[in-house]
Structure 1
């Protein structure tokens, strides 16, 4: 396993100095595996379909948040800002995107033309926002990078109002016992680009930070087959790793929608 400095440097090369969203495996400015429920996987797939699956993953999260007109929305791990701007469909009063890499923040800001949306550089475990600044918090395929999940949970509770909602989606280890084999099998974990957080640990950190009604729902059936089919078509550079589906089929890994609520009057 790489050390923290090596992991930080790798992510900076991938997301900061590089532009992962420009690779054919993603497309459309997104960086996520996609939600493929409504896609016919039997034939050829188009870039337009791939982009639609990434947008659909955001729809899953935004629907889970039950965002209302006038809400203040924060996305943690906002990348190039494409997903954050999708929140405008729900008529929020403002949307803020937070990303660790300054290059990503600059890319997002350069592409943005809506005054309700702005992007800020900062860490998930040390958010540069005042207490109770937001009504809704989302994160799409970023939490697998978080070095400090308890810190993210505490900061999420701090910046949300009482009654505020959190929803995130990404891939986690199914159990702590699965982690060693998962790291051996999937290159992104072996390199330290991704961290094999056990899903029960993530839920425990959210509850410890004061969130209630914390749940994790598997949505892997709508992720892994579609992603693997897209990779099978060869539209991925440098032999992009197809081991994710194998790990999921062996019960080591799954893709989850995680939700929680900061209770009214909690002061968490």
Structure 2
């Protein structure tokens, strides 16, 4: 099967949210990034600006890429690339030979191609390529990348075990994987999260513990698997931004409540493919 020929099935909520509804166009996700952001304490002083919001989203990418430490001149894969603005940041700031953005949604990839026309193969430096594929079935050869990373997309993946196996397969020996997203903190959390947050109730987000990914990476042969909470740098700032658009008691404000109640947290999870 050649690249782009593999089927990439989507749940109905994912198809709608990232297709006709175009979550990337919603003002709360200013700048085309679709993540909650990585906030500094001083960001909570006074009303945040759109410029603040865009910087926090870029800073979340920087935090993940700094943790992954991709080699200069390496080949990077972003799983769940959305509009590709994170791929563009990686190209601009981390010196890779090439970044591949992969997304399951064809409409997102169409938007990404328009947003990054000057960076695509055959145009300009030709260091960005955009490919349709599922996290559980990546259309790439073994050991194709020096770094595999994903920013706030893993909560949508249908099967974290298959994603772990695929990310391990496409990593070169010595390569690093890094994922950041929000996860349930324990087995009692999913029902309560579905009560608090519409995205868990309608199936857009899947409530799973981070151990589901860390364990699967270990079983897939990756080593130095680490999981670190960055909740204090995400949840208060995200709620601060939401407070300008959503009143207390509305469901988006319950992300902070879920964190305060110990039901949900935000993590960076990393691993390495060992050398022979």
* Structure 1: gaps (5+ residues): 1-6
Give 3-state SS (helix, strand or coil) of 2:262's partner.
Answer: coil
Q: Distance in 2 between matches of 1:39 and 1:77?
A: 30
Q: TM-score, normalised on structure 2?
A: 0.90
Check if 1:58 corresponds to 2:49: no
Give 3-state SS (helix, strand or coil) of 2:268's partner.
Answer: strand
Query: Of 161, 184, 205, which residue of structure 2 is paired with 1:194?
Result: 205
Q: Name the structure 2 match of 1:101.
A: 105
For residues 61-113 of structure 1, the C-alpha deviation after alignment (integer angstroms, 9 at most, x for no partner) is: 01011112111000000000000111111110100000000011111112211
Indicate if the aligned counterparts of 1:98 and 1:121 stay in contact, CA closer than 8 A.
yes
Indicate if the aligned counterparts of 2:43 and 2:52 stay in contact, CA closer than 8 A.
no
Deviation of 1:235 (Å): 6.5
Q: Name the structure 2 match of 1:261.
A: 272
Deviation of 1:153 (Å): 0.4
For residues 226-263 of structure 1, the C-alpha deviation after alignment (integer angstroms, 9 at most, x for no partner) is: 11011111179xx5611111000000100000000011
* Structure 2: gaps (5+ residues): 1-9, 120-125
CA gap of 1:61–1:83, structure 2 versus 1, over 3 A, is same
Q: Distance in 2 between matches of 1:29 and 1:51?
A: 9
Q: Name the structure 2 match of 1:216.
A: 227
Q: Distance in 1 between matches of 2:267 and 2:206?
A: 15
Indicate if the aligned counterparts of 1:153 and 1:206 stay in contact, CA closer than 8 A.
yes
Q: Name the structure 1 match of 2:7.
A: none
Give 3-state SS (helix, strand or coil) of 2:43's partner.
Answer: coil
Give 3-state SS (helix, strand or coil) of 1:78's partner.
Answer: coil
Deviation of 1:21 (Å): 1.1
For residues 10-62 of structure 1, the C-alpha deviation after alignment (integer angstroms, 9 at most, x for no partner) is: 11111022211111111101000000125431311100000000000000001
Number of residue pairs aligned between Structure 1 and Structure 2: 258
Deviation of 1:192 (Å): 0.5
Query: Of 16, 31, 35, which residue of structure 1 is paired with 2:19?
Result: 16
Q: Distance in 2 between matches of 1:21 and 1:246?
A: 24
Superposed, 1:1-268 pairs within 5 Å as 8-37=11-40, 39-88=42-91, 89-112=93-116, 113-114=118-119, 115-234=126-245, 241-265=252-276
Give 3-state SS (helix, strand or coil) of 2:18's partner.
Answer: helix
Give 3-state SS (helix, strand or coil) of 1:241's partner.
Answer: helix
CA gap of 1:235–1:242, structure 2 versus 1, over 3 A, is closer
Q: TM-score, normalised on structure 1?
A: 0.93
